[in-house]
Amino acid sequence: MEFLTEYGLFFAKTLTFVVAIFIIVTLIVSAGARGKKSEKGHIQVSKLNDKFKATREALQHAVLDEDQLKLLEKDEKKRLKTEKADQKKAAKEKHKKEEKGDATDEHKKRVFVLDFYGDIKASANESLRETISAVLTLATPKDEVVVKVESGGGMVHSYGLASSQLARITNKQIPLTVCVDKVAASGGYMMACVANKIVAAPFAILGSIGVVAQLPNFHRLLKKNDIDYEMFTAGEFKRTVTMFGENTVKGREKFVEDLEDTHVLFKEFVSEHRPQVDIAAVATGEVWFGRRAKAVNLIDALQTSDEYLLDQVETADIFEVEFTLKKSLPEKLGIAAQVAVERALFSVWEKSQLNRWF
């Protein structure tokens, strides 16, 4: 028993020492980082054509025998030789046109692929802004931007900003396609409807064109325990309903009125971008699976994002563009715990929203 007590004290002292060292190191790193002007992050670009080619070649080497591989290599060399000759011929023709002054701007179509994984606060807005800004420095109306959206919605103003970021692409007359593999509901659909084309998997969840707000009220509990809650405002509707005060009929009516107005704005937004949709029929807050969504014009085609991109591998150069945030050690340590909690809460919320369909 004495041994266990001594071991416990030793373990406690060691743990305390380790924690103290960890805190000191964190403070030192934080102090050093405070004086530096660090970059927010950087853009990463990878060519998906090369990835698909490498995957195909790896599979071929695993499946085909030696004779078949030699035959494939022979055909590939022949194809590359023909392609090189065609490129050389095209270059000569372009040069001749330039000399005559009637050259046209011809280039192979480029497809820029972006990802947006949305939480309640649409935290990916910053990354979306950076990637779109980068793509717009190079993309032309002859190219295409594909955004893979996955979101069950969240705060109105956050998703309104995300939608505005996507609108920067269409405002430049660059074709925009949104692919939905799992869910684009509420704010997620607000983003998707900006696109020239919406492609969704057969069982992806779409729609939820509605507005919801809910909050607990502890007024009766406080009153029961003789606890007063006072709030001072200037302006009749500076606060309508609260968590701790006594909510009035007038306050509730004003709150509902604001929700209804937000819903009207949402419906107008969808109608503006997808006039083919019967907004009265779909703006009920309901959701549709991909197959049903196509029937009511919420989407344009049934395809997964993988299928949509693979269909263009032979005719376009496909680039995946990602903005990677650069964080200091203290930020990583602090944000890790916060993200874990937020993800857990969002997971619970998301499951509560989706469980009734499964």
pLDDT in tens, 50-105: 888 888 888 888 888 887 878 877 877 787 777 677 667 766 766 666 666 655 55
Question: Which whole number is the average pLDDT over 317-322?
Answer: 96
Give CA–CA dist 32/332, Å, rounded. Answer: 15
Catalytic residue among 36, 37, 100, 238: 238
Give CA–CA dist 166/194, Å, rounded. Answer: 7
Give CA–CA dist 153/190, Å, rounded. Answer: 9
Respond yes or no: is residue 186 known to be catalytic: yes
Residue 300 has pLDDT above 90, yes or no: yes
Whole-number pLDDT of residue 37: 46
Instruction: Identify the band that residue 276 occupies on the pLDDT scale cut at 50, 70 and 90.
Output: very high
- Ramachandran sector of residue 208 (left: φ over 0; alpha: ψ -120 to 50; beta: rest): left
Whole-number pLDDT of residue 221: 86
Catalytic residue among 127, 151, 186, 208: 186
Residue 114 phi/psi, 5-degree rounding, is: -120, 155
Instruction: Identify the band that residue 344 occupies on the pLDDT scale cut at 50, 70 and 90.
Output: low
Candidate from 188-192, 226-230, 267-271 with smallest mean pLDDT: 226-230
Respond yes or no: is residue 238 known to be catalytic: yes
- Name the one residue in this structure whose structure tokens are 């409807």: 193
Q: Which CATH number fits domain 109-208+286-325: 3.40.50.150, 3.90.226.10, 3.90.230.10, 3.30.530.20?
A: 3.90.226.10
Write the DSSP string, 13-54. Answer: HHHHHHHHHHHHHHHHHHHHHHTS----EEEEEEEHHHHHHH
Give CA–CA dist 299/197, Å, rounded. Answer: 7
Residue-range domain boundaries for the chain: 54-91, 109-208+286-325, 211-277
Which pLDDT tens digit goes with each residue over 92-143? 766 666 666 655 556 789 999 999 999 999 999 999 999 999 999 999 999 9
Q: What is the pTM of this model?
A: 0.74
